[in-house]
Chain A
């Protein structure tokens, strides 16, 4: 059983299009995240979300928006795609405790290529 799943695995699209990436976790975690990994393998947090708070990294363009229909899902919508959006996008989830974030479980990634 996949703990954190993402669809699609690959996404090739034209500049200017709008696309969505779906993420689901079956771990019962209360917090979900989106990360972007660039061509140099550098991973950067984009969003973190639980039922109380959405935290947006200030460097993320407002063309990116997370949407959570329920605690098990955090989808990523991207409007007006640009060439620089090409990257691998990872969804992750974890449980927050009084001691902070526990282990984060990552999905397999979505490889986005904007032409």
Chain B
């Protein structure tokens, strides 16, 4: 069964604006990870946030985690055309032994 649900499913913004994507999940997690997938390519890891963490930063990326609401958000600040991609959240439920459970993804388009 699907664990993560991202919203929105698609997002189009102007270059320079901030983009926020949300992810909700159903069961308790070990950690939550965000990945980016450019069209026709593999997945690239962005950030891992553990269940006992609330916020993490990496460059222009900021991830929050609210385990009480079973939700996470990914914020990309000062967006660039190169940020155009699909973004997926993925949850690690059983300590990685049985892989990650992915959401459906948010397709982000940055208009130049």
Contact = CB atoms under 8 A, between A and B. Distances in A.
Nearest to A6: B42
A47 B44 CA distance: 20
Nearest to A42: B104
A45 B31 CA distance: 16
Chain B at the A interface: SS class: strand
Contacts of B41: 108-109
A90 B100 CA distance: 13
A104 interface: yes
Given A35-B99, A101-B31, A103-B33, 7 more contacts: A31-B97, A33-B100, A41-B86, A41-B104, A43-B43, A50-B97, A99-B30
A104 B100 contact: yes
Contacts of A101: 30-31, 92, 95-97, 100
Contact of B95 (A96, A104, A105): A96
Given A101-B30, A101-B31, A48 B97 contact: yes
Contacts of A104: 33, 43, 45, 90, 100
Interface in A3-35: 31, 33, 35
Query: Most A CB atoms within 10 A — which of B42, B50, B88, B105?
Result: B42
